[in-house]
């Protein structure tokens, strides 16, 4: 593999991921506003926000871990975006997808969250720490049905690599969401929790509480974090599309598929009221777990 | 001279001399301790001849000392930890009395561990097992705290249960196989009946399981680990518990898998998985850093037992890797807790506040160890976790892997609890005087942390030894690469690319962010925070430490309802009642005793009459 080619494609992929992710967030704000009978900001508002954060002059410094926190996030987000296969069959956009192991991707996600949690911890803001404990508790809720769905798929197709899963789906012209419907349902149910959206937004509790992990970050830190967040969001959507919806062969198709999934997350978020942490965990261990067990039974029987 | 004996002489002789050296002066003793530590370590790694065998004929028994590649790797772990812990102990134990006694037992227990690893027959193993148990028991009760007698008794009772079942198994082997040699035993085993195999195996697993703290034999571990001085706990949890793992590895692989009862191995794996889940759940509600890490030890050992229990090539490989890794990072974590205890005077989460600025190096090594513990890439913990999960998925154990995954996700919770509770949060005036620990304490910790970082990207450094030890367990042709991990289905990951990607992005943005933000940076205290217009005053402290995972506890209330300790207590009370009843035989009346004698003679007469 050519190292320069890899670097170039990594930069292009990251930029595309950034642009798409931030646009999605803008669209989300617009849709939520329309649903609440507001006019809402323009779609490109989040670009302006990030630009504004980066041009802030003063900078609040709480210590080393606080300084490093956004970096863990962005390192994790970009690495996952490079590992998840974005384009099936494209030599240029191969990136690190030969490393596309599902367990690896699942374990990379806490890398950013841990860094963020440490940064939040050093600020000394109790509300932020409470947000982190909520986030970690929810992680237990969402991760278990999700990993069960993934394991069911892995065993069914005899591979642990998301790249292989995309290849199998493309070659057989099928989507895993049809061949293992229960695994798909389980993953779909926990999807809002993985985006900290929908009824599972107790971590950041937007709109009425000045709390949540982000509250002590401002200016460039928040700008970096927002960029990382949007890249990470797009990477997660791509992962979901790759595993269950056949991946894609070009960027347009990828955007259509990921946006459809994202619309689902937005819609659930608009409809459902927020849950308390323990309610959220119980709900995540309810139907999603049932679907996941059904997926296991399906794998065991067929 | 036989090199195995020399190593044992260094440790046992060194222990006895340490006793006198500390009675002369503390400095003499410290120098001697470090010398013994380094001598044993260097001798083990550099000069030990693995091919040597020593037979001692004693009272009709043949005691054999012989090392193999499987036991060698556990010895390597001890050899790495021993000099570092010895260095760490110098400032840690400053100001304590009876140091000679303490270090004599310390070196005896290390010698006992080496003896177990060298044992070529069950009797030798048992002798050294008891030496190790007794010296560690005396160290557990070394600190004359309020808790010590109770904790020590608990440890002793469970150790005794383990020792008796081990001894029963050895007697059974002696009676049926007519030889106590370990290798001979495994050779002739397939010829014996299923009942014999299961009985001996279960008894041995109880014996070894006590030291490996497998549920439900774990009850002693959280107390004993947290009561013992931290420099010994790092050996206790790091190395001594691995003796149990060593034994379980021997039994599960040789007795179960190589003689065709793989179901028993699966049951062992299930015990390990349930231990991992429940111990994790208990770890995250602990209010003390020591107890949290003690429970975490129990949980981590559960993973290792599960890996060995599955018994495929990759899972055993992962189990051994995790065993060595756990020895390193858990020793490091207990050292860090010891440093905090020494400098700040407490390890209670509700008292500790924000030590990160005061003890940055301790924080750094604790952070690295916690990342390894949580299994987050690109550090070495992930390598072990990956191999373990993939081995289970590829061999079709997909229910057990979900349990382990649950334990590991819940493990993030206590990992953050530990780091936040000790090092982060709001600063407090009370801890303003706290300084970084003595370099003798921080340097060993940093060395281990550095090794753990390197091992994440280049795990092949250790794979070399593990692959060799696998041959002794009957897994031939184990292949490995420096940084590429491969599962049984042929999928692989390359740790170098992952580490490179993470590090490059991290450093790139670090430079940019520091460059842009440096000029107008304003350093603020932990009191200068956003609190919705209610700035905290000087006396207020908004540190978050009580009911840390309350929502989680509420959601999983059904798990916390049950505990095994009341069951044991109930059992003990039952036994006590029984003996209260038996005691009534001793009435103190001479006539009753005369009646007993008469009855006994009558029974004897009846029996004698019926036996011709």
User: Which residues in chain B have Cβ-Cβ distances shorter than 8 Å to A99?
Assistant: 493-494, 497-498
Which residue from A minimizes the CA distance to B363? A65
For residue B22, pLDDT beyond 60: yes
**Model ipTM value:** 0.93
Residue A210's pLDDT is: 55
For the segment A2-18, the average pLDDT, to the nearest whole number, is 90
Query: Is residue B253 in some structural domain?
Result: yes
pLDDT-derived band at A43, boundaries 50, 70, 90: very high
| Cβ contact B383:B487 at 8 Å | no
Which residue from A minimizes the CA distance to B505? A75
For the segment B223-248, the average pLDDT, to the nearest whole number, is 90
Query: Is residue B519 in some structural domain?
Result: no
Output the average pLDDT for chain B: 88
For residue A51, pLDDT beyond 90: yes
If asked whether residues B99 and B198 sit together in one domain, one would say yes
For residue B425, pLDDT beyond 90: no
User: Which residues in chain B have Cβ-Cβ distances shorter than 8 Å to A159?
Assistant: 489, 491
For residue B383, pLDDT beyond 60: yes
If asked whether residues B496 and B571 sit together in one domain, one would say no
Residues 6+ apart with CB under 8 A from B73: B320, B324, B465, B466, B469
Q: Which residues pair with B486 in a beta bridge?
A: B492
Give CA–CA dist B329/B334, Å, rounded: 9
Domains identified in chain B, total number: 2
**Domain span at residue B418?**
3-501
Interface contact A118-B354, CB threshold 8 A: no
User: Which residues in chain B have Cβ-Cβ distances shorter than 8 Å to A68?
Assistant: 510
Q: Dump pLDDT digits (tens) for B592-608.
A: 888 889 999 999 888 88
Residue A147's pLDDT is: 92
Interface contact A121-B424, CB threshold 8 A: yes
Query: Is residue B176 in some structural domain?
Result: yes
For residue A56, how many other CB atoms are within 10 A of its CB?
17
Residue B404's pLDDT is: 92
Residue A132's pLDDT is: 86
For the segment B186-205, the average pLDDT, to the nearest whole number, is 84
Q: What is the largest CA-CA distance in chain A?
A: 62
For residue B1, pLDDT beyond 90: no
If asked whether residues B99 and B200 sit together in one domain, one would say yes
Residues 6+ apart with CB under 8 A from B361: B436, B437, B442, B445, B446
Which residue from B minimizes the CA distance to A279? B555
Q: Dump pLDDT digits (tens) for A257-273.
A: 999 999 999 999 899 88
Q: Dump pLDDT digits (tens) for B111-158.
A: 999 999 988 888 899 999 999 999 999 998 888 888 888 888 889 989
Residue B611's pLDDT is: 66
Interface contact B396-A155, CB threshold 8 A: yes
For the segment A165-176, the average pLDDT, to the nearest whole number, is 89
B3/chain A closest Cα distance in angstroms: 44
Strand bridging mode B521-523 / B492-494: unpaired
B524/chain A closest Cα distance in angstroms: 6
For the segment B313-331, the average pLDDT, to the nearest whole number, is 92
Q: Dump pLDDT digits (tens) for B446-503.
A: 999 999 999 988 988 888 889 888 888 888 878 888 888 888 888 888 888 899 999 9
pLDDT-derived band at B334, boundaries 50, 70, 90: very high
Pick the last residue of a domain from B458, B479, B501: B501
What stretch of H or E contains B355? Answer: none
B contact residues 342-361, partner A, Cβ 8 Å cutoff? 354, 356-357, 360
Interface contact A129-B425, CB threshold 8 A: yes
Pick the last residue of a domain from B469, B501, B533: B501
Residue (of B204, B429, B480) closest to B320 by Cα position? B480
Residue B147's pLDDT is: 83
Task: State whether the Cα torsion B338-B341-B344-B348 is positive or negative.
Answer: positive
Residue A208's pLDDT is: 54
Residue A219's pLDDT is: 83
Which residue from B minimizes the CA distance to A100? B493
Interface contact B542-A74, CB threshold 8 A: no
Which residue from B minimizes the CA distance to A78? B505
More confident residue, B146 or A232: A232
Residue A265's pLDDT is: 92
A200/chain B closest Cα distance in angstroms: 14
pLDDT-derived band at B612, boundaries 50, 70, 90: low
Q: Dump pLDDT digits (tens) for B24-69.
A: 888 888 999 999 999 999 999 888 877 788 888 877 778 888 888 8
First to last CA, chain B: 57
Residue A238's pLDDT is: 93
Residue B77's pLDDT is: 92
Give CA–CA dist B276/B268, Å, rounded: 12
Query: Is residue B413 in some structural domain?
Result: yes
Interface contact B420-A129, CB threshold 8 A: yes
**Domain span at residue A290?**
3-301
Residue A206's pLDDT is: 60
Residue B55's pLDDT is: 83
Mutate to test the interface with A, among B551, B556, B560 (most CBs of A within 10 A): B551
Domains identified in chain A, total number: 1
Query: Is residue B300 in some structural domain?
Result: yes
B contact residues 471-530, partner A, Cβ 8 Å cutoff? 487, 489, 491, 493-494, 497-498, 501-503, 505-506, 509-510, 513-514, 516-517, 520-527, 529-530
A64/chain B closest Cα distance in angstroms: 9
Q: Dump pLDDT digits (tens) for A171-221.
A: 988 888 888 899 999 999 999 998 888 788 888 766 555 556 777 888 888
B446/chain A closest Cα distance in angstroms: 18
For the segment B344-352, the average pLDDT, to the nearest whole number, is 88
The shortest CB-CB distance from A148 to any of B396, B402, B525 is to B402
As a whole-number percent, the residues of chain B with pLDDT over 70 amount to 100
A258/chain B closest Cα distance in angstroms: 24
If asked whether residues B372 and B276 sit together in one domain, one would say yes
Helix B262-283 × helix B398-423 angle, to 10°: 30
Residues 6+ apart with CB under 8 A from B214: B244, B248, B271, B272, B275, B301, B302, B305
More confident residue, A59 or A238: A238
If asked whether residues B470 and B606 sit together in one domain, one would say no
Query: Is residue B538 in some structural domain?
Result: no
If asked whether residues B366 and B447 sit together in one domain, one would say yes
User: Which residues in chain A have Cβ-Cβ distances shorter than 8 Å to B415?
Assistant: 114
Residue A28's pLDDT is: 92
Both tokens of A76, joined, read: 């994790």
The CA-atom distances, in angstroms, between B180 and each of B174, B177, B590, B599 are 6, 8, 49, 42
Strand bridging mode B521-523 / B53-58: unpaired
Residue A1's pLDDT is: 63
Residue B519's pLDDT is: 76
Angle at B148 (CA atoms; ends B142, B152), nearest 5 degrees: 85
Interface contact A129-B531, CB threshold 8 A: no
Q: Dump pLDDT digits (tens) for A98-154.
A: 888 899 999 998 888 888 889 888 888 888 888 888 888 888 889 899 999 999 999
Pick the last residue of a domain from B461, B483, B501: B501
For residue A34, pLDDT beyond 70: yes
B294/chain A closest Cα distance in angstroms: 21
Query: Is residue B270 in some structural domain?
Result: yes
Give CA–CA dist B26/B122, Å, rounded: 39
The shortest CB-CB distance from B416 to any of A59, A132, A210 is to A132
User: Which residues in chain A have Cβ-Cβ distances shorter than 8 Å to B522?
Assistant: 58-61
């Amino acid at each position: 593999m050519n190292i320069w080619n890899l670097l170039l494609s990594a930069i292009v992929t990251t930029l595309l991921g950034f642009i798409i992710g931030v646009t999605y967030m803008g669209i989300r704000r617009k849709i939520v506003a329309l649903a609440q009978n507001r006019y809402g900001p323009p779609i490109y508002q989040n670009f302006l926000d990030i630009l504004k954060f980066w041009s802030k002059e003063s900078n609040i410094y709480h210590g080393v871990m606080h300084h490093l926190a956004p970096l863990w996030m962005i390192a994790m987000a970009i690495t996952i975006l490079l590992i998840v296969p974005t384009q099936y069959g494209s030599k240029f956009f191969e990136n690190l997808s030969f490393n596309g192991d599902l367990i690896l991707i699942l374990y990379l996600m806490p890398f950013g969250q841990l860094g963020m949690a440490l940064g939040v911890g050093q600020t000394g803001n109790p509300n932020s720490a409470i947000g982190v404990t909520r986030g970690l508790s929810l992680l237990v809720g969402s991760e278990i049905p999700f990993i069960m769905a993934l394991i069911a798929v892995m065993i069914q197709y005899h591979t642990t690599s998301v790249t292989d899963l995309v290849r199998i789906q493309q070659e057989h012209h099928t989507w895993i969401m049809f061949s293992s419907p229960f695994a798909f349902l389980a993953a779909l149910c926990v999807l809002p929790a993985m985006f900290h959206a929908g009824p599972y937004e107790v971590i950041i509790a937007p709109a009425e509480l000045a709390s949540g992990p982000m509250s002590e970050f401002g200016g460039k830190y928040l700008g970096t974090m927002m960029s990382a967040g949007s890249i990470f969001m797009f990477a997660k959507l791509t992962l979901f599309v790759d595993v269950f919806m056949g991946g894609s062969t070009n960027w347009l198709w990828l955007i259509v598929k990921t946006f459809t999934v994202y619309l689902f997350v937005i819609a659930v978020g608009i409809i459902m009221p927020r849950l308390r942490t323990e309610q959220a965990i119980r709900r995540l261990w309810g139907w999603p777990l049932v679907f996941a067990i059904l997926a296991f039974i399906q794998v065991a029987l067929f | 001279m036989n090199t195995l004996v020399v190593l044992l002489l260094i440790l046992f002789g060194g222990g006895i001399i340490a006793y006198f050296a500390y009675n002369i002066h503390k400095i003499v003793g410290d120098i001697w301790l470090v010398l013994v530590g380094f001598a044993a370590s260097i001798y083990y790694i550099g000069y030990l001849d693995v091919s040597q065998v020593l037979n001692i004929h004693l009272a009709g028994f043949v005691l054999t000392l012989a090392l193999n590649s499987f036991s060698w790797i556990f010895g390597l772990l001890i050899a790495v930890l021993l000099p570092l812990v010895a260095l760490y102990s110098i400032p840690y134990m400053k100001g304590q009395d009876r140091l000679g006694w303490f270090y004599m037992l310390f070196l005896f227990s290390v010698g006992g561990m080496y003896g177990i690893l060298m044992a070529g027959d069950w009797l030798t193993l048992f002798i050294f097992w008891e030496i190790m148990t007794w010296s560690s028991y005396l160290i557990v009760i070394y600190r004359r705290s309020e808790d010590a007698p109770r904790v020590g008794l608990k440890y002793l009772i469970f150790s005794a249960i383990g020792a008796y079942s081990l001894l029963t198994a050895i007697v059974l082997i002696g009676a049926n196989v007519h030889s106590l040699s370990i290798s001979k035993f495994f050779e002739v085993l397939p010829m014996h009946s299923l009942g014999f195999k299961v009985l001996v195996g279960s008894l041995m697993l109880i014996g070894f399981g006590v030291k490996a703290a497998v549920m439900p034999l774990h009850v002693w571990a959280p107390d004993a680990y947290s009561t013992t001085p931290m420099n010994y706990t790092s050996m206790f949890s790091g190395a001594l518990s691995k003796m149990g793992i060593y034994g379980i590895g021997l039994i599960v692989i040789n007795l179960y898998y190589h003689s065709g009862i793989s179901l028993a191995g699966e049951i062992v794996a299930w015990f390990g998985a349930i231990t991992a889940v429940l111990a994790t759940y208990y770890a995250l509600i602990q209010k003390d850093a020591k107890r949290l890490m003690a429970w975490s030890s129990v949980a981590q050992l559960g993973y290792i037992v599960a890996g060995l229990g599955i018994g495929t090539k990759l899972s055993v490989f992962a189990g051994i890797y995790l065993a060595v890794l756990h020895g390193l990072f858990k020793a490091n974590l207990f050292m860090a807790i010891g440093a905090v205890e020494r400098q700040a005077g407490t390890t209670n989460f509700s008292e500790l506040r924000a030590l990160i600025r005061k003890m940055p190096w301790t924080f750094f090594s604790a952070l690295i160890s916690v990342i390894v513990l949580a299994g987050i890439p690109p550090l070495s913990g992930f390598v072990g976790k990956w191999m373990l999960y993939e081995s289970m998925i590829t061999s079709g154990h997909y229910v057990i892997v979900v349990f382990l995954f649950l334990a590991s996700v819940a493990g993030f919770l206590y990992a953050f609890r530990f780091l936040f509770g000790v090092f982060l949060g709001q600063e407090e005036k009370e801890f303003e005087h706290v300084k970084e620990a003595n370099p003798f304490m921080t340097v060993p910790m940093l060395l281990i942390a550095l090794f753990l970082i390197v091992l994440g990207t280049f795990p092949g450094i250790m794979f070399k030894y593990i692959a060799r030890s696998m041959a002794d367990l009957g897994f031939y042709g184990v292949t490995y690469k420096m940084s590429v991990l491969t599962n049984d289905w042929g999928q692989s990951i390359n740790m170098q690319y992952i580490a490179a990607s993470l590090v490059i992005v991290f450093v790139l943005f670090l430079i940019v962010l520091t460059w842009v933000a440096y000029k107008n940076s304003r350093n603020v205290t932990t009191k200068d925070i956003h609190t919705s217009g209610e700035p905290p005053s000087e006396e207020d402290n908004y540190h978050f430490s009580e009911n840390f995972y309350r929502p989680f506890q509420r959601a999983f209330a059904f798990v916390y309802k049950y505990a095994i300790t009341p069951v044991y207590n109930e059992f003990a009370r039952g036994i006590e009642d029984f003996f209260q009843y038996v005691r009534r035989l001793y009435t103190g009346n001479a006539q009753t005793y005369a009646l007993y004698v008469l009855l006994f003679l009558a029974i004897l007469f009846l029996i004698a009459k019926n036996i011709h």
